[in-house]
């Protein structure tokens, strides 16, 4: 029960010219069909070293200043540095053994060189956990202007069973490369890698990635593989990913796979046991089908569910979700389904419609948790939905009835939560309960119109709580927000 409790606690275009790049290889042409005038573009060359558990990174970023202001500095998150010391590692003390079953092992990124428009640039690594790369510009970057930032470095992967790390089966290569910080109405968002929640916030961008691995390894990643080239005993994979807010890779030399198609989307299940890859695939296919119907179509070519050395249960990244390989068993198939569905729902709430997961985590997690319940309703019927809702949401929330935090708003920043217990109770359970009650009061037609319109209007953007409220007000024809705010427990 302790393991299950822990798992559940933590679950949880307009037409523009086509621009062609021959960035890495002359015979592989990368094309950008998205609006290249507004999206940042990442070109990443990376080589995996299995002996030293490292990745050599050569990254070019075409950055466009869309801040509305001129800039003298720009900032990147370099999340691997959070794993450099036991003190900064993003785990609570009680989770350390499961995160590091073989003892603490350091992970980090060593920045070797930074240039801007081919000129060497001054930079500093700052932040309480040294996860911010601050680059000073020689001259002011005017609004609407763009620059090319070139960063070279070496990433050391820790022996850890968390989001970023490796163990016996997989290398979880997530939040691994320098990624631009978001500049919004509050300025640059330079938050640390918090120990709870999903402490990330990023803009939609386009990626072209070249990834070199030993020939017996295969990268399950964001985007689609468009080509590969043999280099003696290694393979070079060419990967494209448009309109995504991050780029993750789960790497292994032991994968077994099975695939299917749903609504012209290729869905693939990767795991290590033939017995369960079909079940995992079916859960993913059914999830895609349900959420396409309820919210709007998944706008990418592929979706992948991958078993990994990941003790926390499940984690979402664009086009790919990682699932704890230990849940792939007859004893835990119900849990496996729940987690896969939850992480798949994140492709709508986080992946396509983004949000500040640090300051407003409810906006993706509460919607995702309730979307998981909707899956059971649409697939199995009302009776099963009620049973799952009671077991996974109501009963768990009621366990906290003696805690003062259950009366608090679900709309809190990660820095204001004191524990995973409080975070889970409010953002997952209370959030789902509030949405269920909101649906009951306004009726199914209006409720699902709200979700569809919210998805449609905020696709490939970062939405705010105010955006969700505005959609509610529009559909419900209300003149003020108070009723919505009260019913959703967001104040």
Which of 208, 224, 248 is the last residue before a domain boundary?
A: 248
Asked if 422 contacts 373 with a C-beta cutoff of 8 angstroms, the reply is no
Neighbours of 272 (CB within 10 A): 17
Domain boundary among 188, 223, 248: 248
Which of the following is catalytic: 217, 423, 428, 454? 428
The answer on 244 and 380 residing in a single domain is: no
Q: Do 34 and 170 sit in the same domain of this protein?
A: yes
Domain annotation covers residue 346: no
Q: Is the alpha carbon torsion for 378, 220, 278, 393 positive or negative?
A: negative
Residue 149 included in any domain: yes
333-345 and 362-380 helices cross at what angle (nearest 10)?
130
Look-up: residue for tokens 């021959």? 22
Q: Is-contact 156 176, C-beta < 8 A?
A: no
pLDDT average per 10 residues of sequence, the chain (491 residues):
39 30 40 63 99 99 98 99 98 97 99 98 97 98 98 99 98 99 98 98 99 99 98 98 99 98 98 92 99 99 98 98 94 94 99 99 99 99 98 97 94 96 98 98 98 99 98 93 86 77
Do 296 and 452 touch, CB atoms closer than 8 A? Answer: yes
273, part of any domain? no
Q: CA 415 → CA 192, 199, 295, 412, 423, distances in Å?
A: 10, 10, 30, 8, 10
Number of separate domains in the chain: 2
pLDDT in tens, 258-313: 999 999 999 999 999 888 999 999 999 999 999 999 999 999 999 999 999 999 99
Give me the CATH number covering residue 388: 1.10.390.10
Q: Quick one: 62 and 195 in the same domain?
A: yes
Last residue of a domain, one of 227, 248, 269: 248
Cα–Cα separations (whole angstroms), residue 290 to 112, 171, 287, 298, 372: 46, 31, 5, 11, 10
| 177 burial type by CB count under 10 A (0-12 exposed, 13-18 middle, 19+ buried) | buried
Cβ pair 349, 332 in contact under 8 A:
no
Q: Which helix (H) or strand (E) holds 475?
A: helix 465-476
What local confidence, expressed as pLDDT, does residue 42 receive? 99
Does residue 230 share a domain with residue 102? yes
Looking only at the bridges linking them, the beta strands covering 353-355 and 461-463 are: parallel
- The question of whether 343 is a catalytic residue gets the answer yes
- Please report whether residue 148 resides in a domain: yes
What range defines the domain where residue 91 resides?
A: 24-248
- Of the candidates 210, 337, 343, 422, the residue annotated as catalytic is 343
* 281: in domain: no
- What pLDDT, on the 0 to 100 scale, is given for residue 8? 44
For residue 63, is it within any domain? yes
Domain CATH for 99: 2.60.40.1730
Global confidence as pTM = 0.92
- The phi, psi pair for 359, rounded to 5°, reads -85, -25
Q: Where are the beta strands (DSSP E) in 185-255?
A: 187-188, 205-214, 218-221, 224-231, 234-244, 249-252
Does a structural domain hold residue 117?
yes
Could you list the residues known to form a binding site, using ranges: 342, 346, 365
Measured between alpha carbons, how far is 25 from 29 in angstroms, rounded to an integer? 8
- pLDDT tens across 109-118, in order? 999 999 999 9
Q: Residue ranges for the binding site for Zn(2+)?
A: 342, 346, 365
**In this structure, are 377 and 241 located in the same domain?**
no
37 shares a domain with 182? yes
Instruction: Answer yes or no: is 450 within a domain.
Output: yes
36 tagged catalytic: no
């Amino acid at each position: 029960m302790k393991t299950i409790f822990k798992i559940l606690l933590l679950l949880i275009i307009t037409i523009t010219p086509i621009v062609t790049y021959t960035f890495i290889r002359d015979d592989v042409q990368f094309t950008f069909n998205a609006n290249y005038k507004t999206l940042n573009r990442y070109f990443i060359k990376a080589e995996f070293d299995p002996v030293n558990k490292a990745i050599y990174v050569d990254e070019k970023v075409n950055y466009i200043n869309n801040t509305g202001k001129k800039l003298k500095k720009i900032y990147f998150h370099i999340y691997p540095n959070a794993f450099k010391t036991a003190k900064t590692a993003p785990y609570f003390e009680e989770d350390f053994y499961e995160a590091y079953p073989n003892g603490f092992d350091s992970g980090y990124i060593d920045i070797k060189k930074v240039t801007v428009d081919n000129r060497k640039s001054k930079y500093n690594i700052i932040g309480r956990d040294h996860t911010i790369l601050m680059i000073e510009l020689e001259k002011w970057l005017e609004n609407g202007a763009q620059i090319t930032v070139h960063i070279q470095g070496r990433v050391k992967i820790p022996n850890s069973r968390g989001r970023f790390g490796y163990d016996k089966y997989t290398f979880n290569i997530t939040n691994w490369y320098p990624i631009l910080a978001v500049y919004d109405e509050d300025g640059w968002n330079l938050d640390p890698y918090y120990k709870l929640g999903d402490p990330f916030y990023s803009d939609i961008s386009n990626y072209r990635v070249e990834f070199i691995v030993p020939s017996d390894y295969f990268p399950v990643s964001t985007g689609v593989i468009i080509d590969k080239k043999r280099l003696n005993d290694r393979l070079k994979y060419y990967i494209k990913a448009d309109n995504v807010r991050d780029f993750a890779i789960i790497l292994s030399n032991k994968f077994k796979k099975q695939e299917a198609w749903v609504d012209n989307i290729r869905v693939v299940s990767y795991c290590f046991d033939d017995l369960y890859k079909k079940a995992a695939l079916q859960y993913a296919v059914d999830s895609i089908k349900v959420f396409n119907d309820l919210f709007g179509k998944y706008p990418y070519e592929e979706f992948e569910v991958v078993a990994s050395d990941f003790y926390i249960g499940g984690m979402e990244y664009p086009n790919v979700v990682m699932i704890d390989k230990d849940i792939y068993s007859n004893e835990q198939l119900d849990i496996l389904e729940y987690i896969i569905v939850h992480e798949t729902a994140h492709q709508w709430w986080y992946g396509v419609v983004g949000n500040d997961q640090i300051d407003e985590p409810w906006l993706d997690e509460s919607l995702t948790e309730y979307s998981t319940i909707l899956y059971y309703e649409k697939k199995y019927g009302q009776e099963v939905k009620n049973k799952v809702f009671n077991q996974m949401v109501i009963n768990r929330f009621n366990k906290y009835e003696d805690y003062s935090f259950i009366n608090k708003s679900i709309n809190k920043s990660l820095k204001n939560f004191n524990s995973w217990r409080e975070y889970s109770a409010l953002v997952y359970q209370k959030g789902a309960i509030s949405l269920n009650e909101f649906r009951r009061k306004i009726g199914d037609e209006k409720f699902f119109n709200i979700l569809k319109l919210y998805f449609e209007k905020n696709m490939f953007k970062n939405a705010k709580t105010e955006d969700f409220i505005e959609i509610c007000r529009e559909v419900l024809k209300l003149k003020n927000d108070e009723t919505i705010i009260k019913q959703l427990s967001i104040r």
